[in-house]
Chains A and B, each alone.
Chain A
Amino acid sequence: MEILRELKALFGPRLLTKEAELAPYESDALTAYRERPLAVVLPERKEEVVEAVRICRRHGVPFVARGSGTSLSGGSLPVRGGVVIALNRLNRILKLDPKARLAVVEPGVVNLEVSRRAAPFGLYYAPDPSSQPVSTIGGNVAFNSGGAHCLRYGMTANHVLGLEVVTPEGEVVRLGGEGLEGVGPDLHGFFVGTEGLLGIALEITLRLLPRPEAYHTLLAAYPSLEAAGEAVARVLRSGLLPGAIEIMDRLAIEAAEAAVRAGYPKAEALLIVELEGEREEVAEGARRLAEVIAESGAEEVRIARDEAERQAIWKGRKAAFSAVGRLSPDYIVQDGVVPRTRLAEALREIGRLSEAYGLRVANVFHAGDGNLHPLVLYDGKRPGELERAEALAGEILRLCLRLGGSITGEHGVGMEKRAYLAEMFSPLEIAAMEEVKAGLDPLGLANRGKVFPPKEEAHA
């Protein structure tokens, strides 16, 4: 094939086409979907990414950008017959300017690496997805990834100051700049969250924040998930603005215990609240938080006395997703959002659905943001169970929409939620998105088939 010859000339041994070489790229963290690409290329410089896009365009071959492949929505699933542009080798931090509090990075830089490199200057990169030791900034940008600490400072979009992007037509454009304030439309903000459909990010300028002077991390145990949900409403009502508010239910606690021995109390639900900021302010906030929690019906309250105890609390929380694998051969990670005042109601309803479907659901989520992560446990070897699990997961999304929320808070639409997009947006709204896509990508090459509901296929 001509395209393979051209890619070979450009990438040499960094063009992968053999079955065994392609296997690791066939799916992302949503392993229910699998697809064999035509080839994988491993660029080491941004110019090679641009060239690869241009070659694909000349041949009308679809391409998918890939970071670390930790997408939970099938976002980095290859397109059949298409090229995967794997960006892990573009992993240089090009500039770290502490005075300007910014970093310019290549897309394959791992999230946690940015904070690690900024630490000597007392700075950090705020968005902290649980996958932060592996997921890349490019992937984070594509999904507007969040994390436990997004309550105050927002998600990825709020921390991207500028981007260099290669459009699906092979043009290189700069969006945004290096400062907090610009003039003209916020094009870089718009690019964040478009799931690789409008181009590939080649360079990303990130805002860094000074590390908080102090943290106050509280763990409270509750006799029911709903009671923990009510406690969140109390905290928000009190006028406190914590850095993080997280909840785990009994299943998630057990899984986390088994996996990393966090030393959590045995309870139906755990609430983590973390205050951050200047020492004096945090101390005062902690006094008020103690009052609020004392009235919330907590069975047990623990406060992290030092950084090690704080890390232990977070370790269990951050390991919870993968730990749930210990409880069940298979599970679906769901990601929906409800208004935070409807949390308790949503949790009650999820419990009811879980019983009705006869499937266990573990809950571990960003409560302060109303961002639920129900994990639907099932056994794929039992006939019909996957289908039942998918139906239950779908019911949960509809519940989120009914309560005025969203079908995804941070994992994106990808392959998994294409069908639900039409339940959240009108046909006109989806048409407008598709027109923007078609304007920038007339051949429909960039991450083809993701996000938009599949059309009735007239041709195979």
Chain B
Amino acid sequence: MLRPKTPEEVQEAVLAHPRLRVRGGGSKPALSGPEEGEALLDLSELKGVVEYDPEELVLVARAGTRVAEVEALLKAHGQHLPFHPPLSAPGATLGGTVAAGLSGPLAQRFGGVRDFLLGVRFVDGQGRLLKGGGKVVKNAAGFPFHRLMVGALGAFGVLVELAFKVFPAPPATRTLRVAFPSLEEALSALERLLLAPLDLMALDLLPPNALEVRIGGFPEALGPRLEKLKRLLGRDGEVLEEDEAHWEGVRNLAFLEGPLLLKVPSRLDLIPLLEGLPLGRRRYLLGGNVLYAEGDGEALKALRARGLAHLVLKGAEDPLFPRPQNPFFQKVKAALDPLGRFPLR
């Protein structure tokens, strides 16, 4: 196993091996487990925060830095990563989060990992250390290679450094949990919330029939905002005053223990169909836009039979369905990784 400590050592490792697989720390084992013939490049030593000035609201760190470490630093300054990286506690790294393209429940408020990544440095398949984007919040210069890296599972190169936009964390939060008589009624309430002028931090559907809504902001405003929510839902529900631990559990996907751990892009109108599939414990985040679920071989078969895209975080051989195949992907891939050193070759 290779364990580079510097970007230069990553370059050497890339040039020395015809096939590589990067592991941040392995919180998504289906993605970071090497296949036959692949050298494992462990980035856990390529770590550390490179730049952070709280007033600038920008953080730059090495790819192998643990999300948990970065979040502790931000928290000390009243800030956070609003896309809420999943699997923070089990050890997710910044690089692995971007490469897997994962966002947690709070992405409902301001957007996902793609919306907060400002720039990257990466080593491409030719061993070149390249930059995409920058360290400022606005930047339209050159091709945006950083956005290409989101969800690419390392297909275009090894991320070595990442720059994120960060935001002030809300000073106070509350969560409202409401159960409905049926899935249909829960869905129609969800729809109402999505069209209302509300600033929801999280909006999750817990099948079969409950919603969890999190709001955050100035403590003085939370009471009236909560009342407004209840009026809109026509129900009282249950209020969680201390909700931090609850949402930590959600974003660490602690509620999922099955042999397979799946991310399934979803839509409101797809939910009834998804609910008919043989999936285990599950939760829809981002107002129904994504489903995290546990499952087994049956679940995988069912999703594939219906042509439903998904990513397996734990448990399967072939994690990404469908594999990107269009000529646009292939040509970009061929330019940055002409020898097919990296995954999705």
Q: A181-B286, A341-B53, A421-B142 are in contact. Are A121 and B199 (CB under 8 A)?
A: no
Q: A189-B144, A370-B138 are in contact. Are A440 and B198 (CB under 8 A)?
A: no
Interface string of B269-286 (1 = CB under 8 A from A): 100000000000000001
A173 contacts the other chain (CB 8 A): yes
Which chain B residues lie closer than 8 Å to A409 at the CB level? 136, 138-140
From residue B342, how far is it (CB to closest CB) to chain A in Å? 12
Q: Does B140 contact A143, Cβ atoms closer than 8 Å?
A: yes
A24 contacts the other chain (CB 8 A): no
Interface string of A185-198 (1 = CB under 8 A from B): 11101111110001
Q: Does A183 contact B101, Cβ atoms closer than 8 Å?
A: yes
Which chain B residues lie closer than 8 Å to A237 at the CB level? 55
Interface string of B234-278 (1 = CB under 8 A from A): 000000000000000000000000000001011111000000000
Q: Which residue of A lies closest to B198 (CB)?
A: A278
Q: Does A152 contact B141, Cβ atoms closer than 8 Å?
A: no
B35 contacts the other chain (CB 8 A): no
From residue B147, how far is it (CB to closest CB) to chain A in Å? 4
Interface stretch of the complex, out of A46-54, A208-216, A246-254, A375-383: A208-216
Q: Does B144 contact A144, Cβ atoms closer than 8 Å?
A: yes
Q: How far is the CA of A436 from the CA of B337 in the complex (A)?
A: 11
Q: A183-B311, A439-B334 are in contact. Are A167 and B327 (CB under 8 A)?
A: yes
B180 contacts the other chain (CB 8 A): no
B309 contacts the other chain (CB 8 A): yes
Q: How far is the CA of A173 from the CA of B326 in the complex (A)?
A: 7
Which chain B residues lie closer than 8 Å to A340 at the CB level? 55-57, 137
Interface centre among A98, A288, A406, A421 (most CB of B within 10 A): A406
Interface string of B202-218 (1 = CB under 8 A from A): 00000000000000011
Q: Does B155 contact A411, Cβ atoms closer than 8 Å?
A: no
B197 contacts the other chain (CB 8 A): yes
Q: How far is the CA of A254 from the CA of B326 in the complex (A)?
A: 53
In chain B, positions 124-180 with a C-beta closer than 8 Å to chain A are 124, 128-131, 134-145, 147-153, 155-156, 167-168, 171
Which chain B residues lie closer than 8 Å to A183 at the CB level? 101, 151, 263, 265, 309-311, 320-321
From residue B135, how far is it (CB to closest CB) to chain A in Å? 6
B103 contacts the other chain (CB 8 A): yes
In chain B, positions 24-65 with a C-beta closer than 8 Å to chain A are 53, 55-58
Name the contact of B114 in the complex, choosing from A173, A189, A285 (C-beta under 8 A): A189
The 5 closest A-B pairs by CB, nearest first: A189-B147, A213-B197, A185-B152, A409-B138, A280-B221
Given contact pairs A280-B224, A412-B140, a sample of 4 additional A-B residue pairs in the complex whose CB atoms are under 8 Å apart = A100-B269, A123-B195, A432-B130, A435-B335
Contacts from A to B (Cβ < 8 Å): 98-101, 121-123, 143-144, 146, 150-155, 157-158, 165, 167, 169, 171, 173-175, 177-187, 189-194, 198-199, 210-213, 233, 236-237, 239-241, 277-278, 280-281, 283-285, 288, 337-341, 366, 369-371, 404-413, 417, 421, 424-426, 428-430, 432-433, 435-436, 438-440, 451
Can you list 25 pairs linking A and B with CB atoms under 8 Å apart?
A100-B267, A174-B326, A179-B290, A180-B289, A181-B266, A182-B151, A185-B149, A185-B324, A186-B149, A186-B151, A187-B332, A189-B144, A192-B147, A210-B197, A278-B221, A406-B141, A409-B140, A413-B141, A413-B142, A421-B142, A425-B141, A426-B131, A432-B336, A436-B331, A451-B142
